[in-house]
Structure 1
Amino acid sequence: MYLLLCMLALTEIGISTCVVLKALCIFWFGFKSITMDGCITQIFFLYFLTGVHSAILVTMAFDCYVAIGDPLRYATILTNARIAKLGLVCFIRAVLFLPGPLLLQRLPFCFNCIIPHTYCEHNAVVKMSCGYTRVNWMYSLVITFVIIGLDLIFIGLSYGLIIRAFLRISSKKTHWKALNTCTAHICVMLMSYTPNLFSTLTHRFSQDIASHIHIILTNLYLLVTPIFNPIIYGVKTREFREKVRKYTCRM
């Protein structure tokens, strides 16, 4: 569990860093321009880290199932070596995002290119092009539904198994402990997937939503969610609470 939490935290730090560094350059130093190569690099790392983040959430759902469904074999099923292999799979799968940013290089931009975001948002960049963008839109939708859609299906299957294991438990105390195991993961999933999916779909299908709504949603996903996730897991994990209380008392 701690290895997964560490990987989740590192990906969230990476996602926020990709956005915050450029945003600080804009607001503090007035560096409002960015090269095309810099923009594509930022998009790639955002896509890559978002894919890793989603895959880690799937792995954490499986972790919850093992902890509830087969707690006595938890340490033998989820060994450090196996978690490392799962982490490697998450990184390899995220490389599949590579063609998306590369497809932007072939697009012509014929007028003033002003991105209405604090970072290079893929769909906003595609909208600025005066060339043929159907391939880019299709790729964005396919990646969203295939990667995130498959992840949600796997998470749903894991929670189906969790519910089955939950119904087999007779002790009320164990019921509460099992429910407490999943609460933090469910909160993090809702905070991660909801604004991401809404922003992607409204960019493609809705023209009536104001641009500042898109900006708020994307910043909510990229900046606010990584702030609250450690708090959620810190509150729900007894060991974290004890460590915080210990160091607070020392101070």
Structure 2
Amino acid sequence: MTLEICANSYQSAKNAVKAGAHRIELCSELSVGGITPSYGLIKKVLSEINIETFVLIRPRSGNFCYSEVEFEIMKSDIQICKTFSCHGIVSGVLNKDRTIDIKRTQDLIELSKPLPFTFHRAFDLVPNTLEALETLIKLGANRILTSGQAVKAIDGLENLKVLQKQAKNRINILVGSGVNPENVKAFRDSGFTEIHASASTVILKETSDMFGNVQQTESNYDTIKELLKVISDAD
């Protein structure tokens, strides 16, 4: 079972590597669902951390229906990530009715090649997941990050099983949202081969007196180790 850690900082990425995670999805601003990280962070992680690194391409928070300018930014970001030798791209585009924007998503997939492409959790907003799954297979996406349209993946487990059965090994179902050491066994025992977790804890960062202390999240070494122990232990 592959463990992908959603890393929102250099330290989170370091913790993931140290704990033994298999892959990271690099992003920033987890509080809004993640957006594209800075070029500086991408470059530093890829040049100094030895782990497979996928980069989230999402120009802003909010919906997944983008303007022409935003879409051009997304394409430029993918090209830049490729120059940094990242290992995969995580992105996706929806129409206003929340169906998959086939043309734009196809453009992103083609531009990402030869890197693998993960369609992110915009998938959990589509009105018909089985139809969307078939669309993404036809477009050449490699995996779908999904919670089974639930707030937490454990609550969407039955939907996830349906998607896994429909996928028939033609596309990978990457289970994400609220995955933790207490519930990951359910996904392992249901036959899923990839899971996505932030494994994060809240930490306080000191700033100047003007702003006071601020809360930030950081992927936690011990939590990642616990996840890995559960998914590797056989009953």
TM-score by length of 2: 0.25
Higher relative contact order (CA 8 A, sep 6+): 1
Structure holding more helix per residue = 1
Bigger proportion of residues as strand? 2
